[in-house]
A and B are shown apart, each in its own frame.
Chain A
Amino acid sequence: MRISNDTLRSAFLSALDEARQRVLATQEKVSTGLRINSPSDDPVAAARVAHLDASLTRLDQYHANAVFARNQLGLEEEALTDVIGNLQRIRELVLQANNSTTSAADRSIIADEIRQHRDAIRAVANTTDVDGRYLFAGFREQTTPFTVSGSGSVVYNGDYGQRTLQISDSRFVAINDSGAEVFQRIPEGNGTFVLGVGATNAGTGTLGEGTVTNPAAWVADTYTISFLTPSSYEVRDGANTVIATGSFAPSQSVTFPGASVRIDGTPAAGDTFTVTPSAQRDVFATLDLLISEIEVPAGDPAGRAQMHSEVGQRLLDLDNALARVVSTRGEVGARVRALDQQESLNDEFEVHLRTTLSSVRDLDYAEALSRLSQELFGLDAAQQAFARAQNLSLFKYI
């Protein structure tokens, strides 16, 4: 094929141009440190990089969420521990007061101390976080959850809301518990029924434990246990129908379909005891009842028997409240553990993502620099060849 001078020149020039472009491309990569400077460099890898970047940003956000959650849950755990301490102290005091040797004056002092602890619990229930937002008010975090009404009872002003935060693409954690669940919806008695003492009882019959012997046979109704004589009783249901009778000796149980109630001491004829289905009462009301029951002078044996019966029942209620707070604290602990677990998973995942991102996007400097020096050498050689070839012409010799 004939080669014209023009072809010769343009072939050399385009070779030079290509060599220069290669050098320029490699230079850009070396100076940015990235293998991919625009998606067209490697579209598939660029798509992966976009996904990896998005995942990393999301992980950062989940970490921030987890930090916030841990703060809130930590505050809640402290508050619940405080409440447990108060309730346990109250329990000790109650046992002390229920002791038959404690005098009325001592009981009065004990009642005062219980009041202090009750107020302390209410203060903790109204605890706020750093921004002044109430921990136990559900969603209504700017409203004081527990206030005292005119009649002296404690009113809950919050709601049932539980806020959840996202700590991974598929995992959420709750960061609060509503005061209603923690302090208010506490079951009475043994959870199924609660026992009561007739106000006019004259004997020394003291209520002991009430159990559900057969859940299937238990019918929720208000039952009255009446002692016709100190050794015989009858049980009437809410419609005043006799459903059970029996003979009795001290520390034996009165039984009727589905339930059994132990009574210590000696009831007098005409004494009554009630069995009512459990409703729910808040812990403050329970404490108020407890205080008023302890403060009863109860000079005579009958009065004392009544006091022991009622305080015994309140003790059950108190245990229920304590159990609720303890289990809530356990839940909070479990949430914190879940947070920790998720955080460490997230950390591992982040390392994995960053490694993958680097391998896809970052430049292999060793390879790039050696390629750059090769390309520079190629450029130099092309330039030299051009200079020398351009020198050749027949006209120099004629």
Chain B
Amino acid sequence: MANILNIGLSALLAQQRALTTTSNNIANASTPGFSRQRVELSERPSEQVGPGYVGTGVDVAMLRRMTDDILADQLRTAAGGFHRADAFASLASSLDDLLAGTDTGLTATMQGFANALQNVSNDPSSTSSREALLSEARSLIARFDAMDQRLGDIALEVRTRMTAAADRITALGADLAEINRQLIAAGTAAGLPGPSELLDKRDRLLEELSGLVQVDAAQQRDGTTSVFIGTGQVLVLGGTSAELAVTAGNADPLQPQVVLRGFGPDVNVTSFVSGGELGGVVDFNREMLAPARSELGRIAVGLVTTMNAVHRNGMDAEGQLGGDFFAIGAPQAFAAGSNTGSGSVAVTITGVAALEPTNYRLTFDGSAYTLQRVDNGAVVPMTGAGTALSPFVADGLSIVVSGTPAASDQFFLKPLEHVAGTLRLMVTRSADVAAAAPTRTSTALGNTGTATISSGEIVDVTNPSLLTTSTIAFVNATTYTINGAGSFTYTPGANIDINGTRVQITGTPAAGDQFVIEQNVGGTGDNRNVQALIDRFRSSVFNGDVSLQDAAAGLITNVGARTSEVTNQRDVQQLVFEQNRDRLESVRGVNLDEEAADMLRFEQLYQAAARIMQVSDNLFQTLLNTLLR
């Protein structure tokens, strides 16, 4: 009887525990990160009674927390992948919208500038078409400036998001360290499983952390979880956590970098972190934003260099040589903050055609310099020695190192990233637009031959005698003198360069024929130089036969293609993430129908157990009644 009572009691307690657990599951059905629990029962050891063994009831063996660590780990990886793609895609979309909008883009304004040049070419002495050209030039500059500012805004957003992510990661690390401490206090070091809600909370924190940056979570023997980021840098170890901070770059103070502080000296982990929102933002910055800014700068430098080269060869409405049409800021170079030597670097742009839209890192190993692109890490071969007389030349840049750098010193070169906003118009008056060429040619009236002379083009505008009058006189049909001196053989159509002007004479000259090259005075209807500007604007500027318009359109297309690619990637990653989440949920999620059925079952079992006790009591009462008579 006592046995029956005990058995009944054990059953009662077991079903009570089961009902409690089921109620807990139902209560927490919608709690995020909750792992449902199941009671696991085990038989009590049986007693030997007579020829056999009799059972003694049921025990609650354990309360199992239904989860799967492998699936949880996979889910964290998927979360990291998804959030990285999501952050990247959303930033890429805003970059895409900026470049492509007809209100905010570049190609329409550039075409407007080209059209204004054509109108000046039609009617060079018209003040209104010159004014319109200057107005279009100012619009073009304003557009470059606006785009540069907006790109700067995106860079600021990148920095803000990086900082927010780093702060949240630090906070989560601290929380995980706290949970580790609580788990130790709850006795996990001795092998106890630890409170379920702490473990659930830990899993939830790890999942959120994975959404911010890819982490490795390693379960330690004492029940705590250690967390590593990047390539094995420690974020959480036992009860202590590190701090993740965003600071100004060591090599490039204008670029944010991610620094891990806490366990030992500060470590720059910017290139090690991957995955999660932080990884996505850092990747976006390196792979799309910085190259886009450099490309915009490259187009601006191309515009300035080519337009200036042609404009300098021209003559304005007041008879002055053209000079520069645009001006643009100089390339930037920094010495890394960690440098121990005293070296400094100066960069100038010498070859527009070879410019690449990237920043560069120049490293000194003690004896030699290595130049690397920042966007893909490729090493760029250089010629020259780095001195002022023999500068390093690579990718259109000329680099001079001065001072004494120490071994492993680094220098950061940004030739193009920040120049698009420094564009300026040097021509302020409509009369200063150099539409004409500085020299003109004429054929003497007394010529009897049939030779004609071309109108001339400028090959060297710096020639000090450019504007002096020169005469080509033919002594006979095959020989001529220049300014009365020399004896040159006449080849029809060959270039004749005099004082910086190049002409060609074709046809058959007669003895005594003369041709004159002289300063273009009063030639207000001359459109030769503005026509040259138009040609240069449309012709190839960069390697690969890329014109300015091609480069502007290419920038839009590349960003658009990449955005489309990452958006598709994000959609795929989202599916993977949801699949992984569903798989984990199928193990640990609460199904209310299942709990309802269980509740019914446990209730019945409880009633049955109670009945056992009643039966036991009845038996006892019967015995008592029998004995008492």
Please tell me if A166 contacts chain B, counting CB pairs below 8 Å: yes
Select one of A14, A142, A180 contacting B524, CB under 8 A. Answer: A142
A366 to B534, CA, bound (A): 43
| Most interface-central of B121, B510, B560, B582 (chain A CB within 10 A) | B560
Look across to chain B and name the residue whose beta carbon is closest to the beta carbon of A163: B527
Q: Is A236 an interface residue (CB 8 A)?
A: no
**Is B585's CB under 8 angstroms from A6's CB?**
yes
From A3, A10, A14, A61, name the one whose CB has the most chain B CB atoms within 10 angstroms. Answer: A61
Q: How large is the interface on B (under 10, 10 to 19, 20 to 34, 35 or more residues)?
A: 35 or more
Q: Does A141 contact B (CB under 8 A)?
A: yes
Q: Which of A6, A54, A131, A166 contacts B118 (CB 8 A)?
A: A166
Interface residues of B in 554-569 (CB under 8 A from A): 554, 556-557, 559-561, 563-564, 567
Q: Is the CB of B440 within 8 A of A277?
A: no
CB contact list, B95-125 vs A, under 8 A: 96-97, 99-101, 107-108, 111, 114-115, 118-119, 121-125
> In the complex, which residues 24-81 of chain A have their Cβ closer than 8 Å to any Cβ of chain B?
38-44, 46-47, 50-51, 53-54, 57-58, 60-61, 64-65, 68-69
For B527, list chain A residues within 8 Å (CB).
Answer: 163-165
By a CB distance below 8 angstroms, the chain B residues around A394 are: 592-593, 596-597
Partner of A43, one of B126, B445, B564, B581: B564
B525 near A54: Cβ-Cβ < 8 Å? no
- Point out the residues of chain B lying under 8 angstroms from A60, CB to CB: 115
Contact (Cβ within 8 A) B589 A5: yes
A282 touches B (CB below 8 Å)? yes
Q: How far is the CB of B106 from chain A (nearest CB, A)?
A: 10
CA distance A41 to B447 in the complex (A): 66
- Please give, as numbers and ranges, the residues of chain B lying within 8 Å of A14 by CB-CB distance: 578
- Nearest-neighbour CB distance to chain B for A154, whole angstroms, equals 12
Q: Which residues of B contact A1 (CB under 8 A)?
A: 582-583, 586
Across the interface, do B597 and A11 meet the contact criterion of CB distance under 8 Å?
no
- Are B557 and A39 within 8 A (Cβ)? yes
> Which one of A43, A142, A176 lies within 8 Å of B560 (CB-CB)?
A43
Contact (Cβ within 8 A) B592 A65: no
A7 within 8 A of B: yes
Residue B446, interface by CB 8 Å: yes
Asked if B553 is an interface residue, CB under 8 A from chain A, the answer is yes
Best-buried of B124, B582, B600 by chain A (most CB within 10 Å): B582
A11 and B443 form a contact (CB under 8 A): no
Interface pick from A132-140, A195-203, A208-216, A371-379: A132-140
Given A5-B592, A139-B526, also A162-B111 (CB < 8 A): no
Per the bound structure, the CA–CA distance linking A282 and B567 in Å amounts to 75
The answer for the CA separation of A65 and B101 in the assembled complex, in Å, is: 29
Establish whether residues A161 and B525, one from each chain, have CB atoms under 8 Å apart when the complex forms: yes
The residue of chain B having its C-beta at the shortest distance from the C-beta of A56 within the complex is B111
**In the bound complex, how far is the Cα of B531 from the Cα of A166, in angstroms?**
9
Given contacts A47-B553, A51-B553, contact A163 B589 (CB under 8 A): no
A50 to B555, CA, bound (A): 11
| Residue ID in chain A nearest B524 by CB atoms | A142
B29 near A3 with CB under 8 A, answer no
Would B549 and A54 count as touching, CB distance under 8 A?
yes
Interface string of A387-398 (1 = CB under 8 A from B): 000000111001
A197 to chain B, nearest CB (A): 22
Q: Which interface residue of B108, B443, B525, B588 has the most chain A CB atoms within 10 A?
A: B525
B191 at the binding interface (Cβ < 8 Å): no
B470 to chain A, nearest CB (A): 15
Q: Given that A43-B564, A54-B111 are known contacts, is A142 also in contact with B585, CB under 8 Å in the complex?
A: no
In the bound assembly, the distance between CA atoms of A176 and B119 in angstroms comes to 17
Cβ of A113 < 8 Å from any Cβ of B?
no
Indicate if B587 sits at the interface (CB-CB under 8 A).
Answer: yes
- Contact between A141 and B557 (Cβ–Cβ < 8 Å)? no
Chain A residue nearest to B597 (CB atoms) is: A394
Instruction: Report A-chain residues with C-beta under 8 Å of the C-beta of B3.
Output: none
- Let me know if B523 and A140 touch, CB within 8 A: yes
Docked CA distance A39–B559 (Å): 8
Most buried by A among B126, B567, B594: B594
**B581: chain A residues within 8 A (beta carbon):** 7, 10
In the complex, the answer to whether A180 meets B100 with C-beta atoms within 8 Å is no
Given contacts A50-B557, A64-B119, A160-B443, contact A6 B111 (CB under 8 A): no
CB distance from B178 to the nearest CB of A (A): 27
Nearest chain B CB to A259 CB, angstrom units: 16
Q: Which residues of A contact B115 (CB under 8 A)?
A: 57, 60-61
Decide if B591 touches A68 in the complex (CB within 8 Å). no
From 194 to 239 in chain A, residues with beta carbon under 8 angstroms from any chain B beta carbon are 220
Name the residue on A nearest B105 (C-beta).
A50
Could you tell me the distance in whole angstroms from the C-beta of A395 to the nearest C-beta in chain B?
5
A61 touching B443, Cβ below 8 Å: no
- Residues in chain A near residue B534, CB distance under 8 A: 166
**Contact status of A139 and B442, CB under 8 A, knowing A3-B591, A5-B590:** no
In the complex, whether B458 has a CB less than 8 A from a CB of chain A is no
Contacts of B108 in A (CB 8 A): 53, 57
Tell me, rounded to whole Å, the shortest Cβ–Cβ distance linking A113 to chain B. 28
Min C-beta distance of A141 to chain B, whole Å: 4
Task: Point out the residues of chain B lying under 8 angstroms from A86, CB to CB.
Answer: none
Residues of chain B contacted by A51 (CB below 8 angstroms):
553
For residue A2, which residues in chain B have a CB less than 8 angstroms away from its CB?
Answer: 586-587, 589, 591, 594
Check if A166 sits within 8 Å of B585, measured CB to CB: no
Asked if B531 and A279 make an inter-chain contact with CB atoms under 8 angstroms apart, the answer reads: no
Q: Quick one: given A5-B589, A58-B111, A160-B441, are A141 and B525 in contact (CB under 8 Å)?
A: yes
Specify which of A44, A68, A139, A282 is in contact with B436 (CB 8 Å cutoff). Answer: A139
Which of B122, B523, B587, B597 is close to A139, meaning CB atoms less than 8 Å apart? B523
Cβ of A38: which chain B residues have Cβ within 8 Å of it? 93, 96-97, 100-101, 560, 563
Residue of A nearest to B523 (CB): A139
B448 touches A (CB below 8 Å): yes
**In B508-543, which residues have CB < 8 Å from any A CB?**
510-511, 520-527, 531, 534
Name A51's closest neighbour in chain B (CB-CB): B553
Q: Is A184 in the interface zone, CB < 8 Å from B?
A: yes
Task: Indicate whether A292 reaches chain B with its CB closer than 8 angstroms.
Answer: no
Contact A39 B122 (CB under 8 A): no
Interface residue? A143 (CB, 8 A): yes
Q: B204 → chain A, closest Cβ, in Å?
A: 13
Residue of A at shortest CB range from B32? A6
Contact A140 B448 (CB under 8 A): no
B247 contacts A by Cβ under 8 Å: no
Q: Are A6 and B30 touching (Cβ within 8 A)?
A: yes
Identify which of residues 433-472 in chain B touch chain A, using a CB-to-CB cut-off of 8 Å: 436, 440-443, 445-448, 455
Determine the chain B residues whose CB is within 8 A of the CB of A40 once the complex forms. 92-93, 96, 560-561, 563-564, 567
A180/B553 contact (C-beta < 8 A), A140-B523, A140-B524, A142-B524 known: no
Residues of B within 8 A of A46 (CB): 100, 556-557, 560
| Structural contact, A68 and B123, CB atoms closer than 8 A | yes
The docked-state distance in angstroms from the alpha carbon of A47 to that of B554 is 8
| Distance of B97 from chain A, by nearest CB (Å) | 6
Complex: how many Å from CA A176 to CA B122? 12
Q: B267 → chain A, closest Cβ, in Å?
A: 36
Cβ of B36: which chain A residues have Cβ within 8 Å of it? 4
Give B70-107 as 1s and 0s: 1 = Cβ < 8 Å from A's Cβ atoms: 00000000000000000000001100110111000001
- Determine if A278 is an interface residue (Cβ-Cβ < 8 Å): yes
Residues in B with CB closer than 8 Å to A131 are 123, 126
Cβ–Cβ contact B442 & A159, under 8 A: yes
Chain A residue with the shortest CB-CB distance to B568: A40
In the assembled complex, the Cα of A398 lies from the Cα of B559 at a distance in Å of 59
Tell me if B455 and A160 are in contact (CB < 8 A).
Answer: yes
Given A2-B587, A7-B589, A138-B523, A43 contacting B557 (CB threshold 8 A):
yes
Task: Pull 13 A–B residue pairs with CB atoms less than 8 Å apart, ordered by A.
Answer: A1-B583, A2-B586, A4-B589, A6-B29, A39-B100, A39-B557, A44-B561, A47-B557, A64-B122, A159-B523, A160-B441, A393-B596, A394-B592
Given contacts A6-B590, A54-B549, 12 further A-B contacts (CB under 8 A): A2-B589, A3-B586, A5-B589, A11-B582, A44-B561, A57-B111, A138-B525, A141-B125, A141-B524, A163-B124, A163-B526, A185-B445
